[in-house]
Chain A
Amino acid sequence: MSLAFQSFLRRDCTVRRVDDLFLVFFRPSGQTHMLPVTSMALLDALDETPLAVADIPAALAARYDTEAEVGAEAVVERLLRELEEVGLVEQVPMGRVPEEPVNGGVTA
């Protein structure tokens, strides 16, 4: 079973744009992160469906109406590792039904 990644951007995060970066408040950890647009695009793409790493560059390219680059997969892997460390993405086994969101409306 191969691994895929997903995020819970809409459920778990509050986002504010600051110049060309994004401030993300991640409710499960209570931490604030600053992300460049590429990371943000990744989180956004993974928010809808878990994707295998190999499929992510093509999915991003389709989303932004551009061409997937050679070598993009290695970059995506690195980005995912960093995002996973802070909990913004998580691994799921492929074929698993995306989680039903639990009550994400917990107030601070």
Chain B
Amino acid sequence: MMNDQKPNADVASRRHLLKLGAMAAPAVITLAPASARAAASVLNCRVPFPDNVDSNGNACATPTPAGGGGNGGGPPPWAGGPGGNPNPGGGQGGQGGSGGDQNQPICYPGPGADMPAVDADALQKAILLQDDGGSSFDGQMAAYQKYLARVKSQQLEGSSCLMSIELAGR
């Protein structure tokens, strides 16, 4: 439905039409929300996330535990796992290394079994919120960002989705 904004009586429109032959401006500009929500509904793409990601951005099998014991709970299911012997001085608080082999990259747990892949829209929003300081954790965030960078650079599954998000978001 057109409202009463018809240009018929518009003096300016006659002037513009007189210059029709010289017109070089675009005929139409489409307004785009920064959010990928609109684009995502068209793209409908997903980026798979591995269960766990290490500090180099690779998928890893088992999250690296901290030192054993902690304060009060039972021992973790895999005491003395890939990080080497449990560090008696370790325990809860902070994201420090396993106390074992310093060359082993730390393996961080992923978003969880119920989030094996995320769609473009959710990923864009989560990244925007994390950029806003709304989410914050040392190591894990860096690990995930490295994973996403690898997806793009090695053109792994989800790379075109990620690149589309970036295009849609600009």
Interchain CA distance A37-B11 in the complex, whole Å: 11
Which of B12-20, B69-77, B105-113, B123-131 lies at the binding interface?
B12-20
Interchain CA distance A57-B31 in the complex, whole Å: 28
**By the criterion of a CB under 8 Å from any partner CB, how many residues of chain A are at the interface?**
47
Interchain CA distance A105-B6 in the complex, whole Å: 20
Does any Cβ of A come within 8 Å of B3's Cβ? yes
The A1-27 residues at the B interface (CB cut-off 8 A) are 9-11, 13-17, 20, 22-23
Binary per-residue interface labels of chain A (54-71) against chain B in the complex, 1 for a CB within 8 Å, 0 otherwise: 000100110111110111
The B1-58 residues at the A interface (CB cut-off 8 A) are 1-3, 5-8, 10, 12-14, 16-18, 20-21, 23, 25-31, 38
Contact B17 A64 (CB under 8 A): yes
Contact A33 B31 (CB under 8 A): yes
Chain A interface SS verdict (over half)? mixed
Query: In the complex, what residues of A have CB within 8 A of residue B28's CB?
Result: 33-35, 39, 82-83, 86, 88
Closest to B13 in A: A37
Interchain CA distance A60-B5 in the complex, whole Å: 17
Within the complex, the shortest CB–CB distance from A19 to chain B, in Å, comes to: 10
Q: Assuming A10-B2, A37-B7, is B12 touching A83 (CB within 8 A)?
A: no
Query: In the complex, what residues of A have CB within 8 A of residue B25's CB?
Result: 36
Q: Which residue in B3, B30, B31 is a CB contact (below 8 Å) of A14?
A: B3
Within the complex, the shortest CB–CB distance from A76 to chain B, in Å, comes to: 8
Does any Cβ of B come within 8 Å of A38's Cβ? yes
Interchain CA distance A104-B5 in the complex, whole Å: 19
* Contact sample, A vs B, 28 pairs, CB 8 Å cutoff: A11-B1, A13-B2, A14-B1, A15-B3, A16-B3, A17-B5, A20-B12, A30-B38, A31-B38, A34-B28, A34-B31, A36-B25, A38-B20, A38-B27, A39-B28, A41-B7, A57-B20, A66-B14, A66-B17, A66-B18, A67-B18, A69-B21, A72-B21, A75-B21, A75-B23, A79-B27, A83-B27, A88-B28
In the A-B complex, list the 9 residue pairs whose CB atoms are closest, starting with the nearest: A82-B27, A79-B27, A69-B21, A71-B21, A17-B5, A32-B31, A34-B29, A39-B27, A10-B2
